[in-house]
Homo-oligomer: A and B are copies of this chain.
């Protein structure tokens, strides 16, 4: 019987160059692309096509509920079989891979094969990718640590390169060396040799071989990861499908990539170069590439009007965007922030995020729609003495029992049915009905039904800040 293949999805990456759609509270893996699926969802679907075995998602614990929401729509072969490793801090990929390997070794055995899939890139040719996975599995079963290389077709200076050495099998080579991001001249030289591919961050290996390599080339990390795994425990607030990595021991691990910590140093490292429509969608031009162009090479989502313009891209979430006489320009429009830049400046969006951080603004952290375990809320408008929100509560979910000192809340049910607790009373509020929660009242909002509950909340009062809330422990 062949060893199980366990997809390990690394769901991280701030995606600051994709601001204002990607923000800290809802980063790149959760961005919806042209077909409405997020990068995480696409990676989950890809994993489902490759393996029927239990996948692992390694992500920050802040993204646990967001990730579970993505899973709800994924292919059924993987949907029921995902477990989470929740990171208490950002520590690059080596700690994540080390802990995932320990988790898989414990659950599926040391002969299990891991397939590490970062959820921050696109793969267009799933069939071509599956063929590479087959090659990688054969090598991994033979003790190789396998990296996936991307056939380099342009002299990219933003990627690391892998030089292929001796052929091991059809389409598989020993790695001769890893090369850091080169300058343009070197990148051009690499291209002419035909021996270089881009480092994709996708890996395949047997659990036992990664553990052995860690012990040998990164012993401090190996020992630290084992200590962290021993100290970690099931995530109490969740669905018993997650392990919360121990904060102290995890935070003590070195922040380093798995490439640098292990692959560049280990003895038996192979590369499988492939050409499966990989794109790291690191910045807006790659997102634009996902959309169909018009005759003037303009692309866009939403309501766009291009006049005397060419090679522009517009991301709109509902407003009309008119682009007049522009060339090679990117416009990214969200409900509370707008970005305009020439395509050639796409790598500099980080500067905007840095400026926002420096100014104390929070538009690089939050959207005006925020996800919560129970659903989402959107601030529609805020003014003196009032705030307007749209709440969507998932079926069978509930907000905590709470009280506000300064604000009254008026709830109008737009669709679904709400169960409302107001001090001692509990009652249902149906579609088109409303109720009123006076300041000082202990209250709770629940969706007891099978369909989403959509509710407009009008807050009014002398103070409508989010911090005017007292939560009661309600078991």
Contacts and interface: CB of A to CB of B under 8 A. Distances in A.
**Overall SS of chain A's interface:** strand
Interface in A445-475: 454, 456, 458, 460-461
Interface stretch (A99-107, A210-218, A342-350): A342-350
A412 B385 CA distance: 12
A340 B320 contact: no
Nearest to A338: B321
A337 B372 CA distance: 30
A352 interface: yes
A163 to B, nearest CB: 35
Contact of A434 (B323, B341, B410, B431): B410
A322 B342 contact: no
Interface of A: 20, 305, 307-308, 319-326, 329, 331, 333, 335-342, 344-345, 348-349, 351-352, 355-356, 361, 363, 380-381, 383-386, 388, 390, 408, 410, 412-415, 431-432, 434, 436, 454, 456, 458, 460-461
B340 A383 contact: no
Contacts of A339: 322, 324
B363 A320 contact: yes
B436 A414 contact: no
Contacts of A390: 381
A230 B110 CA distance: 101
A438 to B, nearest CB: 9
A238 B319 CA distance: 36
A388 B340 contact: no
A340 B340 contact: yes
Given A456-B388, A458-B456, A324 B338 contact: no
Given A431-B460, A436-B434, A319 B305 contact: no
A300 to B, nearest CB: 12
Contacts of A348: 307-308, 324-325
Given A338-B338, A436-B434, A458-B456, A352 B414 contact: no
Contacts of A384: 415
Given A308-B348, A355-B305, A432 B408 contact: yes
30 contacts: A305-B356, A307-B348, A307-B351, A307-B352, A319-B338, A320-B336, A320-B363, A321-B337, A321-B340, A322-B339, A322-B352, A322-B355, A323-B341, A324-B341, A324-B345, A324-B349, A326-B341, A329-B340, A331-B340, A338-B338, A380-B388, A385-B415, A386-B414, A388-B388, A388-B456, A410-B412, A410-B434, A412-B460, A432-B460, A432-B461
Given A380-B380, A380-B388, A458-B458, 15 more contacts: A307-B355, A319-B336, A319-B338, A320-B338, A322-B339, A324-B351, A325-B341, A331-B340, A386-B412, A388-B456, A410-B412, A414-B458, A431-B460, A432-B460, A456-B458
